[in-house]
């Protein structure tokens, strides 16, 4: 999972020459929760006929500084915050990626290409190119340029939307997986596209500028709000958009798949609570998740299987659902765990060792609330179970009597190949285990999960990917599975 953003608009005297990069940077800060491994920015300056960029490891504020931004002049810019599922930590594998030949193109994307290896092999043989990185974005960059080259009558033919559509169609036809992509074509404008199933989110915003409209494309609507752009709409599955340097906007759906499959995990865990995805507020959805979970908990309570004294969220994501759960159960809501805000999320870190250290470091128990109490502990999901186990140990060490773990998601039993880093089923705590075994493993008295229909009810749409819950993948995952097993045996 990553965060992407792109900005384009006309320049006027009150703006600094690097205004687009500055706005992209500010927007990227609001998408920091989508990836914390690295960040990068790229601008195009029409007057100087040049791309300017910087990328580096670390959080946005560590990877990019004021001097980097001041260098990135021009009226369009893209930026990226990285959550690594592919490639290495080398700077060459970071985004944005850019090429100057056969014309200038820069790209960022959020997602994962499942058929990366076979596609790399086939395209490499067909076009005789050599990949310079391990990042799947490089493939899309090559494919984009190659198709435009083929479609363009001569190098003097201006690049138009008809060329862009062909290039987008080639990506939709060839790249199997999830991708929300934003790019710049020097002298032409900014483009964006979203995979045929619409697995990863991408939104379009617009605001009035002194010399004409300015546009923003971003992973989440919270970036639009923050920068003062009006939410225009979600970019559709299989749609490509081109916004030219003259302010013209072209768009067309050229590659939609029959099934829309928006990742349910965006609402449950990944997206910022202030965002709307597919015009469904993430915050309201999380309240709904608490409400439907309350029915399940009430049942266990009525059956005298549990007797909770209060509801306690695992900070931060599950806080919203916990408030609603407590309201619906008429139970007190207490913060029994305080999060150290300076430590990154544990699940997003890419090694088990890093994750365990992060869990141990980031939560402090509030003993006065915990001691001698039966706690209804709420988490948004349980992936590997590491975090839950550590937290329950911590609560028990601080005097908790009984702990019921209530989860605003069904059990995750299958791998994700679409950009969230759990492709290996065997890593998942719920894989091959029943609820009692899961409870025993994490040290809880009982675990209560949502079911699939609860999720559909809470989110309010059936156009979801829930493959990690029900094994119904929106695309062919055979190559993704082979890759995951190679990675496991490595």
By CB under 6 A, what part of segment 186-215 binds ligand SF4? 199
The sheet that has 50-57: what strands, in order across it? 50-57, 38-45, 76-82, 3-8, 212-218, 203-209, 230-234
Minimum distance from residue 199 beta carbon to ligand SF4 (Å): 5
Minimum distance from residue 363 beta carbon to ligand SF4 (Å): 24
Residue with Cβ nearer ligand SF4 (43 or 112): 112
Residue with Cβ nearer ligand SF4 (120 or 416): 416
Q: Is 2 a catalytic residue?
A: yes
Among 4, 170, 468, 477, binds ligand SF4 (CB under 6 A): 468
**CA nearest to 468, candidates 408, 416, 427:** 416
Minimum distance from residue 414 beta carbon to ligand SF4 (Å): 7
Pick the catalytic residue from 2, 72, 145, 409: 2
Binding letters toward ligand SF4, positions 237-276, x by CB under 6 A: --------------------------xxx-----------
Q: What would the DSSP string read from start to end of 431-467?
A: TT--HHHHHHHHT-SEEEE--HHHHHHHHT-S-EE-H
465: contact with ligand SF4 by CB under 6 A = yes
Minimum distance from residue 467 beta carbon to ligand SF4 (Å): 4
Choose one: 72-80, 138-146, 463-471, 482-490; the region binding ligand SF4 (CB under 6 A): 463-471
Choose one: 7-15, 100-108, 148-156, 465-473; the region binding ligand SF4 (CB under 6 A): 465-473
The alpha carbon torsion through 412, 346, 350, 220 (nearest 10 deg) reads 80
Alpha-carbon distance 166 to 147, whole Å? 7
- CA count, 13 A, side-chain hemisphere, 264: 33
Task: Note whether 204 and 5 are within 8 A (CB).
Answer: no
Among 84, 114, 188, 416, binds ligand SF4 (CB under 6 A): 416
Minimum distance from residue 233 beta carbon to ligand SF4 (Å): 22
Q: What would the DSSP string read from start to end of 370-424?
A: HTT-EEEEEES--SSSHHHHHHHHHHHHTT--EEEEEESS----S---SSSS---
Among 310, 418, 449, 483, binds ligand SF4 (CB under 6 A): 418
Take residue 426 and report the two structure tokens written for it: 């065997």
Choose one: 180-188, 288-296, 380-388, 459-467; the region binding ligand SF4 (CB under 6 A): 459-467
Alpha-carbon distance 125 to 119, whole Å? 10
How big is the site for ligand SF4, counted in residues (CB under 6 A)?
11
By CB under 6 A, what part of segment 272-311 binds ligand SF4? none
- Sorted by sequence, the CB contacts under 8 Å of residue 205 that are 6+ apart come out as 215, 216, 217, 218, 221, 224, 227, 229, 230, 231, 232
- Contact residues: ligand SF4, CB under 6 A: 199, 263-265, 416, 418, 420, 465-468
Catalytic site positions:
2
């Amino acid at each position: 999972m990553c965060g992407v953003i792109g900005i384009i608009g006309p320049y006027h005297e009150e703006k600094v020459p690097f205004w687009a990069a500055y706005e992209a940077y500010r927007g990227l800060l609001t998408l920091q929760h989508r990836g914390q491994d690295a960040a990068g920015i790229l601008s195009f300056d029409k007057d100087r006929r040049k791309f300017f960029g910087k990328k580096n490891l670390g959080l946005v504020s560590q990877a990019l500084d004021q001097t980097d931004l001041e260098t990135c002049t021009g009226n369009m810019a893209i930026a990226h915050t990285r959550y690594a599922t592919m490639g290495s930590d080398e700077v060459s594998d970071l985004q944005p990626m850019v090429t100057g030949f056969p014309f200038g193109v820069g790209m960022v994307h959020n997602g994962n290409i499942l058929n990366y290896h076979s596609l790399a092999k086939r395209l490499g043989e067909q076009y005789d190119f050599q990949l310079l990185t391990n990042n799947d974005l490089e493939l899309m960059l090559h494919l984009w340029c190659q198709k435009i080259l083929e479609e363009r009558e001569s190098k003097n033919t201006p690049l138009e939307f008809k060329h862009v559509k062909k290039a987008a169609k080639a990506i939709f036809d060839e790249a199997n997986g999830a991708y929300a992509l934003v790019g710049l074509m020097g002298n032409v404008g900014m483009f964006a596209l979203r995979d045929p199933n619409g697995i990863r989110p991408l939104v379009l915003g617009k605001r009035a500028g002194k010399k004409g409209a300015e546009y923003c494309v971003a992973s989440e609507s919270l970036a639009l709000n923050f920068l003062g752009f009006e939410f225009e709409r979600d970019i559709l599955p299989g749609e490509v958009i081109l916004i030219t340097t003259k302010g013209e906007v072209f768009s067309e759906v050229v590659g939609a798949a029959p099934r829309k499959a928006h990742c349910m995990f965006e609402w449950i865990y990944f997206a910022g609570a202030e965002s709307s995805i597919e015009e469904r507020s993430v915050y309201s959805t999380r309240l709904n998740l608490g409400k439907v979970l309350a029915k399940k908990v009430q049942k266990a309570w009525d059956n005298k299987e549990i007797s909770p004294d209060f509801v306690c969220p695992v900070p931060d994501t599950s806080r919203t659902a916990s408030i609603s759960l407590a309201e619906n159960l008429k139970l007190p809501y207490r913060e029994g765990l305080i999060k150290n805000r300076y430590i990154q999320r544990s699940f997003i870190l890419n090694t088990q060792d890093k994750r365990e250290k992060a869990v141990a470091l980031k939560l402090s128990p509030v003993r006065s609330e915990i001691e001698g109490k039966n706690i209804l502990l709420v988490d948004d999901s349980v992936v590997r179970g590491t975090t839950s186990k550590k937290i329950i140990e911590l609560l028990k060490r601080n005097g908790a009597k009984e702990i019921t773990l209530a989860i605003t998601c069904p059990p995750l039993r299958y791998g994700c190949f679409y950009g969230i880093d759990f492709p290996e089923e065997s890593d998942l705590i719920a894989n091959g285990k029943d609820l009692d075994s899961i409870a025993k493993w994490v040290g809880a008295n009982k675990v209560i999960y949502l079911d699939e229909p609860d999720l559909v009810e809470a989110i309010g749409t059936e156009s979801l990917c829930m493959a990690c819950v029900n094994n119904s993948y929106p695309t062919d995952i055979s190559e993704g599975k082979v890759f995951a097993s190679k990675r496991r045996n490595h």
